[in-house]
Chains A and B, each alone.
Chain A
Amino acid sequence: GQNIDQPTEMTATEGAIVQINCTYQTSGFNGLFWYQQHAGEAPTFLSYNVLDGLEEKGRFSSFLSRSKGYSYLLLKELQMKDSASYLCAVIDSNYQLIWGAGTKLIIKP
């Protein structure tokens, strides 16, 4: 079966750095998304990786290793507004999206 694993919950301190990991076992790979979802709001697109390496976008970076079936989302200079759930999703060989259960990130002052 296809599976995506990410931690259920993480806690970090305002101003710090946090890394949210995502490992996947899917039938093929055609890209990986990270989405952010604040409580009661729509998931919103953060990043897309299809090639190995690090993609940086402001305070957020996303890394991909296809050989290891692994990605992480790195959040720097954490702000209280970064408290949200972070969803990892992989496009499989049939161009269908496989979703992880999400990581709830709690930021403390």
Chain B
Amino acid sequence: ETGVTQTPRHLVMGMTNKKSLKCEQHLGHNAMYWYKQSAKKPLELMFVYSLEERVENNSVPSRFSPECPNSSHLFLHLHTLQPEDSALYLCASSQDSGSVTGELFFGEGSRLTVL
């Protein structure tokens, strides 16, 4: 069982659809992150949860809605997305409580295509 698991691995959706990305970490970490990865661009931090509380929201459009029901699970709810939202969405976890002092552990990502 890998440390950080993301589902689905691939998702194609229309602009009017509602879908969710799921992330689960089996490492007992305190912090979880959503990142957006676009080709040839730096990773963009979207949301950070520390001990199930959101500690950072980097001006992300409201069509992205995170949810952290417990310290092991993180969701990203998607609604009325735009084609430019097509990207790889990476979930990560760390032992820290939101402030990075150590290594991040990443999932393999969910490749999202918005038509």
B side interface size, CB within 8 A: 20
Q: Is B90 an interface residue (CB 8 A)?
A: yes
| CB <8 Å contact, B4 and A8 | no
B113, chain A: closest CB distance, angstroms: 14
| CB <8 Å contact, B106 and A95 | no
The tally of CB-CB contacts under 8 A between chains A and B is 49
| CB <8 Å contact, B100 and A42 | no
What mask results when residues 75 to 115 of chain B are scored 1 for a CB within 8 Å of chain A, else 0? 00000000000000010000010011111111111010000
| CB <8 Å contact, B103 and A40 | no
Q: Which of B4, B40, B96, B106 contacts A101 (CB 8 A)?
A: B40
| CB <8 Å contact, A41 and B101 | no
Q: Is B45 an interface residue (CB 8 A)?
A: yes
Extra pairs beyond A33-B103, A40-B109, A101-B40 (11, CB < 8 Å): A41-B108, A42-B90, A42-B107, A43-B106, A45-B103, A95-B96, A96-B99, A97-B100, A100-B42, A101-B41, A101-B42
Interface positions of A (Cβ within 8 A of B): 4, 8, 30-31, 33, 35, 40-45, 48, 87, 89, 91, 94-102
Interface positions of B (Cβ within 8 A of A): 4, 40-43, 45, 90, 96, 99-109, 111
